[in-house]
Amino acid sequence: MKFFIDTANLKHIGEAKDLGILAGVTTNPSLMAKEGISGDEAIRGHYEKICQLVEGDVSAEVLSVSYGDMIKEGEKLASIHPNIVVKIPMIKDGVKALKYFSDKGIRTNCTLVFSAGQALLAAKAGARYVSPFLGRLDDISTDGLSLIEDIRIIYDNYLYETEILAASIRHPMHIIECAKIGVDVITSPLTPILNLLNHPLTEKGLAQFLSDAKKLS
């Protein structure tokens, strides 16, 4: 299972990269706005910086919702760097755009996926990644993990090459459960990734080892 970071914050991306386990980055318009990035040039420049920082796929989301505009915008985004993956919303024009980009060999990430039917359409249209939003389903008392299990079964049944990219991760247990299901990628903010490190017995054991180590010299 690959680890992507879900942020446009360069400091967080750098910190995850320094851990040595980072395989990619996902962003969305909300995450870009949070960093104060606005306007075509600034957006382009920010993606260039992320691509220089990380060796791996970087999802860049289109802001348009009509087929023609998504194609124009997606092609511009894809021209920024070979690692850019064009992120397309799961709407009717989005499915058409996924197919267009797939036919052209441009990789895509189908976002805002909340049902198995949507994930099936994304795979049929040739999306490279499908992003089911785990936390947002949990937020409305719906079982996000069971959706991801369903997508895994469907994709395995037909050997679809679309990778399941579990998104909207809120805590370390989401990451563990996704690994148990066998998703291909999780994308998470920095904190849930760092929280995987924590265990009180590790801290207690290390304190004991360090204390005993002083007796050895």
Instruction: Specify whether the CB–CB gap between 184 and 163 falls below 8 A.
Output: yes
87 is catalytic: yes
Contact 150, 131 (CB under 8 A): no
Least distance between ligand G3P and beta carbon 192 (Å):
10
Size of the site for ligand G3P (CB under 6 A): 9
Binding range to ligand G3P, per CB under 6 A, among 131-139, 141-149, 155-163, 193-201:
131-139
- Judged by CB under 6 A, the residue of 8, 26, 43, 164 near ligand G3P is 26
Helix (H) or strand (E) holding 99: helix 92-103
Secondary structure of residue 109 in the 3-state scheme: strand
Tell me if 3 sits within 8 A of 12, measured CB to CB: no
Smallest separation (angstroms) from ligand G3P to the CB of 113: 10
**CA 187 and chain centroid, separation:** 4
Q: Using CB under 6 A, which of 168, 177, 183, 192 touches ligand G3P?
A: 168
Judged by CB, which is closer to ligand G3P: 89, or 126? Answer: 89
Range in contact with ligand G3P (rule: CB under 6 A) among 12-20, 96-104, 129-137, 140-148: 129-137
Residue type, position 209, single letter: F
CB 187 within 8 A of CB 21: no
With CB under 6 A as the contact rule, the residue among 133, 145, 150, 162 that binds ligand G3P is 133
4 binds ligand G3P per the rule CB under 6 A: no
Distance (Å, whole) CA 190 – CA 165 = 16
| Under rule CB under 6 A, residue 135 binds ligand G3P | yes
118 near ligand G3P, judged by CB under 6 A? no
Return the residue of 81, 124, 136, 171 that touches ligand G3P, per CB under 6 A.
Answer: 136
Residues 78 and 84: beta-carbon distance below 8 Å: yes
| Residue given tokens 């690994």 in the structure block | 179
Q: Among 4, 5, 6, 83, which residue sits at the site for ligand G3P (rule: CB under 6 A)?
A: 6
**Axis-axis angle for helices 116-124, 92-103 (nearest 10):** 30
* Span near ligand G3P by CB under 6 A; candidates 68-76, 100-108, 130-138, 193-201: 130-138
> In this structure, what token pair is assigned to residue 127?
């999306």
Catalytic sites, residue numbers: 87
- Contacts with ligand G3P, residue ranges (CB under 6 A): 6, 26, 28, 133, 135-136, 167-168, 187
